[in-house]
């Protein structure tokens, strides 16, 4: 997964400006979009994890459950299994404006309950965003066939079920995140995310996906905000990354043990610039090469 910042992305675009001598004088920037977002888990491990609530468009499921409730109502008062789910069967629709703030989409819920037995270790979340440009009128590509799907995103999830029975007086077990989220129930569980098709911006704590439309280049920024039970998407501590077998600087979330953890997904669209022929690949390649040259010069 590429790690970059919004500043570096804009720098790449600016460095290519002198090369855009053939840009269209009739370029139209889409200001308003309707969208449809479909999400589903298309793979999960190990055997013993149960999947339910299908998303018909993607052929996957939107709820995963695992483990057996510990036979102790003090530790698991509602006697529920742990689970990970996407609301509304993984379908979300709405509208978004270019260069404005993010709009809320799906809600992701991790029911992090004290369990025994099999626990989730990995899952694949598949996302498809379909965009329909609405304004200016007429849209950049007129007619009923102007909606299109951005390249799909594949979220590879590594999940770590941390000790459920940790207590501050037990020095034999150390929570990967240091201080536990719940002294009663144990350590917070760890999600590590690797996304195919997007980079990560450590300044805005968002995944960024580039897509072209009608001669213009846009960036979709994808956020995962906390709703009161955790910090949302973040760069995890070295200890948490190591516990998940990931490199330092990995990206993910830590969820509180014994609680219902909800995270609000959101996204925004930003216009970057007009694309000259032959298209996006040439633009981004030139920008990245120029950035690399600047970095080498500064290092010399």
Q: Is the pLDDT at 20 greater than 50, yes or no?
A: no
The count of domains in the chain is 1
The stretch 141-164 carries a mean pLDDT of 81
Continuous segment of H or E residues that includes residue 13: helix 6-15
More confident residue, 115 or 146: 115
Percent of the chain with pLDDT over 70: 72
Residue 171: predicted pLDDT: 58
- Mean residue pLDDT across the chain: 82
The 10s digit of each residue's pLDDT in 230-281 is 678 999 989 889 888 899 999 999 888 888 999 999 999 999 988 876 554 5
Q: Is the pLDDT at 187 greater than 70, yes or no?
A: yes
Residue 177: predicted pLDDT: 64
- Answer for the pair 30, 147: CB distance below 8 angstroms, yes or no: no
- Answer for the pair 101, 268: CB distance below 8 angstroms, yes or no: yes
DSSP-derived secondary structure letter, 7: H
| Model confidence, pTM | 0.81
Worst-scoring range by mean pLDDT, 20-24, 109-113, 145-149, 188-192? 20-24
Residue 243: predicted pLDDT: 85
C-beta atoms surrounding 68 within 10 Å: 14
The stretch 142-155 carries a mean pLDDT of 79
Q: What is the largest CA-CA distance in the chain?
A: 71
- Answer for the pair 123, 102: CB distance below 8 angstroms, yes or no: no
The stretch 141-160 carries a mean pLDDT of 81
Q: Bin 14: left if φ > 0, else alpha if -120 < ψ < 50, else beta.
A: alpha
The 10s digit of each residue's pLDDT in 62-75 is 999 999 999 888 88
Closest-CA residue to 107 (of 188, 12, 196, 224): 224
Residue 6: predicted pLDDT: 56
Q: Is the pLDDT at 151 greater than 80, yes or no?
A: yes
Q: Is the pLDDT at 85 greater than 60, yes or no?
A: yes
Q: How far is the C-alpha of 222 from the C-alpha of 38, rounded, in Å?
A: 14
Residue 28: predicted pLDDT: 83
Closest-CA residue to 119 (of 159, 80, 156, 166): 159
**Residue entry with tokens 């840009």:** 23
Q: Is the pLDDT at 3 greater than 60, yes or no?
A: yes
Q: Is the pLDDT at 188 greater than 90, yes or no?
A: no
Please, what is the end-to-end C-alpha distance for the chain in angstroms?
27
Percent of the chain with pLDDT over 90: 53
The 10s digit of each residue's pLDDT in 194-210 is 999 999 999 999 999 99
pLDDT band at 24 (very low <50, low <70, confident <90, very high): very low
Q: Is the pLDDT at 289 greater than 70, yes or no?
A: no
Residues 6+ apart with CB under 8 A from 11: 287, 291
How many residues are present in the chain? 300
Q: Is the pLDDT at 25 greater than 50, yes or no?
A: no
Strand pairing report for 148-149 and 50-55: unpaired
Q: Is the pLDDT at 14 greater than 90, yes or no?
A: no
Q: How far is the C-alpha of 135 from the C-alpha of 274, rounded, in Å?
A: 17
User: Computed over its alpha carbons, how large is the radius of gyration of the chain?
Assistant: 22
The stretch 71-83 carries a mean pLDDT of 90
- Answer for the pair 206, 233: CB distance below 8 angstroms, yes or no: yes
Domain that holds residue 29: 3-299
**Quick check: bond before 285 cis, omega within 30?**
no
């Amino acid at each position: 997964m590429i790690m970059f910042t919004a500043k570096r992305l804009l720098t790449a675009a600016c460095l290519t400006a002198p090369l855009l001598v053939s840009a269209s004088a009739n370029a139209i920037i889409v200001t308003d979009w309707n969208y449809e977002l479909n999400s589903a888990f298309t793979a999960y491990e190990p055997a013993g994890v149960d999947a339910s609530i299908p998303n018909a468009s993607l052929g996957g499921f939107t709820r995963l459950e695992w483990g057996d409730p510990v036979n102790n109502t003090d530790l698991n008062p509602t006697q529920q299994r742990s689970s990970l789910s996407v609301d509304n069967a993984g379908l979300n629709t709405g509208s978004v404006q270019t260069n404005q703030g993010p709009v809320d989409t799906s809600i992701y819920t991790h029911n992090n309950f004290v369990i025994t037995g099999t626990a989730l270790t990995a899952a694949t979340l598949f996302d498809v965003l379909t965009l329909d440009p609405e304004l200016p009128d007429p849209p950049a590509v007129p007619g009923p066939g102007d909606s299109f799907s951005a390249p799909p995103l594949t979220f590879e999830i590594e999940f770590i079920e941390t000790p459920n029975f940790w207590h501050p007086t037990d020095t034999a077990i150390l929570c990967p995140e240091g201080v536990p989220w719940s002294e009663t129930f144990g350590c917070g569980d760890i999600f590590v995310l690797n996304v195919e098709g997007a980079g990560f911006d450590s300044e805005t704590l968002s995944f960024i996906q580039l897509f072209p439309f009608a001669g213009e280049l846009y960036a979709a920024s994808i956020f995962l905000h906390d709703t009161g039970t955790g910090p949302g998407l973040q760069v995890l501590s070295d200890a948490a990354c190591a516990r998940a077998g990931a490199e330092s600087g990995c990206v993910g979330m830590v969820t509180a043990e014994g609680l219902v953890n909800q995270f609000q997904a959101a996204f925004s669209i930003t216009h970057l610039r007009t694309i000259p022929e032959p298209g996006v690949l040439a633009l981004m390649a030139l920008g990245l090469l120029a950035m690399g040259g600047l970095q080498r010069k500064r290092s010399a």
